[in-house]
Amino acid sequence: MLQTTKITFKKTEAEWYNYHHTLKEIARLREEIMNPFEEDPDDPTVVKGANSVRSPGDPTERMATRLMTSKQLKYLNEVTKAIGEVYEALPDSYKRLVQLRYWSKHKPTWDGIAFELKVSERQARRWRNEIIQTTIKELGWR
């Protein structure tokens, strides 16, 4: 088994912190791709046909192609899918740790998290490490 780098661990943990923000970003990107900016046809400063390059074919097909080829959207979907799958497979106590550590507006200390979970701080950190390592494995990172 490959040793996880410290940078990968921190990056993965950051993805857990940003999970809900990333879901919003995915929705925004999808909306942007599905409804690209188009000039107002009644704008007198727009010369008809000069600023728009339209590719032939079905508009639904073009939109589907843009959705499928967006590297950023693909990456964000991959990360949120992995986090969602890992989260759903966690025992309730681990899920509570995730909610306290990553998804709470109030960022409790490890002591506070351990107290809330009724475990030692060391045990809470072990659970965190398992969660992050499982996510790294799910994503195929190293």
| Mean pLDDT (whole number) for 117-135 | 98
| Mean pLDDT (whole number) for 123-138 | 98
Lowest mean pLDDT among 5-9, 15-19, 62-66, 97-101: 62-66
Does a structural domain hold residue 52?
Answer: no
pLDDT surpassing 90 at residue 2: no
Residue type, 29: L
| Burial tier of 35 (Cβ tally within 10 Å: 0-12, 13-18, 19+) | exposed
Token code pair at residue 81: 């899918």
DSSP 8-state assignment for residue 137: H
Does a structural domain hold residue 116?
Answer: yes
Q: Which residue has the higher pLDDT, 36 or 51?
A: 36
pTM of the predicted model as reported, rounded to 2 decimal places: 0.76
- Rounded to whole angstroms, what are the CA distances from 125 to 8, 91, 110, 117? 17, 15, 8, 12
pLDDT digits (tens, 9 = 90+) for 56-93: 566 666 666 665 667 888 999 999 999 999 999 999 99
| Mean pLDDT (whole number) for 29-34 | 82
Q: What whole-number distance in Å separates Cα of residue 67 and Cα of residue 90?
A: 31
Domain extent at residue 117: 6-39+57-139
3-state secondary structure of 97: helix
Q: What whole-number distance in Å separates Cα of residue 15 and Cα of residue 79?
A: 8
Token code pair at residue 6: 């410290």
Local confidence band at 29 (pLDDT 50, 70, 90 cut-offs): confident
| Mean pLDDT (whole number) for 103-120 | 96
Does a structural domain hold residue 47?
Answer: no
Does a structural domain hold residue 61?
Answer: yes
Does a structural domain hold residue 44?
Answer: no
Does a structural domain hold residue 134?
Answer: yes
Residue % of the chain over a pLDDT of 90:
63
Q: What whole-number distance in Å separates Cα of residue 118 and Cα of residue 120?
A: 7
Mean pLDDT value across the chain: 85
Does a structural domain hold residue 64?
Answer: yes
pLDDT value of position 51:
44
- CB atoms under 10 Å from CB of 83, counted, come to 23
Does a structural domain hold residue 74?
Answer: yes
- Residue listed under structure tokens 């890992």: 86
Structural domains counted in the chain = 1
pLDDT surpassing 60 at residue 130: yes
